[in-house]
């Protein structure tokens, strides 16, 4: 009998479900979308019930036609850091506060004063940022005390779907690493941090390694999704860790650059070594026994989508909108004839951790056209990703090649820009994102694959390459200007934030 694997990705814009066979070949894919609410400037929320409805529909579609009898295990992944608060019967108390929400900057400052950066890095591997879960929880405690008092469980987005599928409260070491409540070095909840922040320990779910079986599909969920009751559900992982497994980033021979809504640079470590100033995230990998360092920019593909919506000539409703935009950008020379874009339209995380930073076009002239604006956004995103790569290089991580994943990896132009800006060869894999990696992780739990390393090496296929070209000689000067611009504008970003608040 075939042994197929189901990966489910609870993303920012929708749920993706896909079925993978024991050879890593994709057999079925389904997606369902949903909106994100921004009730105030810098806020971002979603109703978890939208995720569950979308997950039900997507799973039903891929499991139709009797495929569910072949599913050996389910792997879950999704957007990290989101705060889902449940009452004692398991009902959602308030909308989830998402990873890109910036409202809790004040709570981050309080945590830093109470605990200190040194202790935070020692216990969690990371500084505390508004996107992380703990400061969001403190914000609710201070601003919505009635909701806080009703709370019985705190979950991450994909783990809410696990709860609806199994009735169990669990998370995994990779996703828990981004909560500011997890001891990343020891791969367990940090009793020290939890006590210092006065968060009830009973609110936190159980935690397991990513390939370990955490729970099983309940009879009720089986009726709602078409899955077999009793199908195992593994721990899974946050989207970046699973994306890395799906791209074959399971050792130090390559780093990953992901251009999704956010932008990520990801490199593997064989031991826990956080960056001394907390500018890079140090998280557990979805591969047991490994960790990873990760730099995150908040608006990579998000900046591109913002530009599409602002300058739309009807593209927003076209399936080839991004392809048309990048074709325009290809007509513009590298450097955009002196136009530089700062991609901080949602604030920034790495390397500045500045929720007040904002997007900027610098150098606009009558010479510049819509095509220049498009290419400037693509180059600005690449410069922002290079900030993270340079921090990794400063720690001795060579990353002799880059694997590019995410929606932006479909653009040949963006592939070449990354190769030129980073000055290293780029590989593009057959990429179905974090859901594919989650399916491979599920295969380890179901013993379809002996290990995550074996799964990635046998299933991941390279479909394209790009080498640094002549533009790699001019980008360093533009990058220096890009870096200087933030330093020049940092105080003005703070002034604007005070004015708009």
Q: Which of these, 168, 237, 147, 155, lies nearest to 203 by C-alpha position?
A: 155
- Measured CA to CA, the distance from residue 491 to residue 493 in angstroms comes to 5
Is residue 239 part of the annotated active site? The answer reads yes
Q: Among residues 286, 116, 106, 139, which one has the least CA distance to residue 193? A: 116
> Strand pairing of 96-97 and 170-172?
unpaired
Q: Is 216:232 a contact under the CB 8 Å cutoff? A: yes
Residue tagged active-site, from 9, 239, 354, 356: 239
**What is the H or E stretch that residue 176 is in?**
helix 173-176
Residue-by-residue DSSP string for 14-77: EEEEEEE-TTS-EEEEEEEE---B-SSTT--EE-HHHHHHHHHHHHHHHHTTTGGGGEEEEEEE
Compute the distance between CA of residue 298 and CA of residue 353 in angstroms, rounded to an integer: 10
Rounded Cα–Cα distance for residues 342 and 388 (Å): 15
For residues 261-290, b (16+ Cβ closer than 10 Å) or e, as one string? bbbbbbbbbeebebbeebbbbbbbbbbbeb
Q: How far apart are CA 177 and CA 407, in angstroms?
A: 25
**Ramachandran assignment for 323, one of left (phi > 0), alpha (psi -120 to 50 degrees), beta (any other):** alpha
Half-sphere CA count of 200, side-chain side, radius 13 A: 11
Cβ count within 10 A of residue 47: 15
> How many whole angstroms separate alpha carbon 438 and alpha carbon 11?
13
What span, in angstroms and rounded, lies between the C-alpha atoms of 141 and 143? 6
Residue ranges of the alpha helices (H) in 368-433? 370-394, 412-422
CB 247 within 8 A of CB 429: yes
Closest CA to 376 of 397, 393, 361: 361
Neighbouring residues of 65: CB distance < 8 A, sequence distance ≥ 6: none
Q: Would you say the C-alpha torsion 132, 438, 171, 15 has a positive or negative sign?
A: positive
Distance CA 215, CA 367 (A): 60
Q: What is the DSSP string of 67-104?
A: GGGGEEEEEEEE-SS-BEEE-TTS-B-SPEEPTT--TT
Q: Which residues are catalytic?
A: 239
């Amino acid at each position: 009998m075939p042994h197929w694997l189901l990966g489910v990705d609870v993303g920012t814009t929708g749920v993706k479900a896909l079925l993978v066979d024991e050879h890593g070949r994709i057999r079925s894919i389904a997606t369902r979308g949903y909106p994100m609410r921004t009730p105030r400037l810098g806020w971002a929320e979603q109703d978890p019930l939208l995720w569950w409805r979308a997950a039900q529909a997507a799973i039903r579609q891929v499991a139709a036609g009797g495929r569910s009898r072949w599913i050996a295990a389910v792997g879950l992944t999704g957007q990290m850091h989101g705060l889902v608060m449940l009452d004692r019967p398991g009902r959602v108390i308030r909308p989830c506060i998402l990873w890109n929400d910036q409202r809790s900057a004040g709570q981050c400052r309080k945590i830093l004063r109470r605990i200190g950066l040194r202790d935070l890095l020692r216990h969690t591997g990371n500084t505390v940022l508004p996107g992380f879960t703990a400061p969001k929880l403190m914000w609710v405690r201070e601003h919505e005390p009635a909701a806080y008092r009703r709370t019985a469980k705190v979950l991450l987005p994909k783990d809410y779907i696990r709860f609806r599928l199994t009735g169990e409260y669990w998370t995994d070491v990779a996703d828990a690493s981004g909560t500011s409540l997890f001891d990343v070095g020891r791969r367990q909840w940090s009793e020290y941090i939890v006590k210092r922040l006065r968060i009830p320990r009973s609110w936190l779910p159980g935690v397991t390694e990513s390939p370990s079986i955490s729970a099983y599909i309940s009879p009720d969920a089986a009726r709602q999704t078409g899955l077999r009751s009793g199908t195992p559900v593994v721990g899974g992982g946050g989207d970046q860790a699973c994306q890395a497994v799906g791209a074959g980033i399971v050792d130090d021979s390559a780093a990953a650059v992901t251009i999704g809504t956010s932008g990520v640079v990801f490199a593997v470590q064989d031991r826990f070594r956080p960056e001394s100033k907390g500018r890079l995230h140090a998280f557990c990998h979805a591969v047991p026994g490994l960790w990873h360092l990760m730099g995150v920019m908040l608006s990579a593909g998000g900046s591109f989508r913002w530009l599409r919506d602002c300058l739309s000539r009807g593209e927003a409703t076209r399936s080839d909108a991004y392809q048309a935009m990048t074709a325009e950008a290809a007509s513009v020379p590298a450097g955009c004839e002196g136009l530089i874009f700062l991609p901080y339209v949602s604030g920034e995380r790495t390397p500045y951790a500045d929720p007040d930073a904002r997007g900027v076009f610098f150098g606009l002239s009558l010479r510049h056209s819509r095509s220049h604006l498009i290419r400037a956004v693509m180059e600005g995103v690449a410069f922002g990703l290079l900030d993270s790569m340079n921090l990794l290089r400063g720690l001795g991580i060579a990353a002799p090649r880059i694997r590019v994943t995410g929606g932006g990896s479909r653009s040949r132009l963006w592939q070449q820009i990354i190769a030129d800006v980073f000055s290293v060869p780029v590989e593009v894999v057959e990429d179905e994102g974090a859901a594919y990696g989650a399916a491979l992780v599920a295969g380890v739990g179901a013993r379809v694959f002996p290990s995550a390393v074996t799964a990635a090496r046998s299933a991941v296929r390279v479909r394209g390459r790009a080498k640094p070209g002549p533009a790699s000689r001019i980008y360093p000067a533009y990058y220096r200007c890009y870096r200087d611009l933030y330093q020049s504008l940092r105080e003005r970003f703070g002034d604007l934030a005070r004015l708009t608040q």
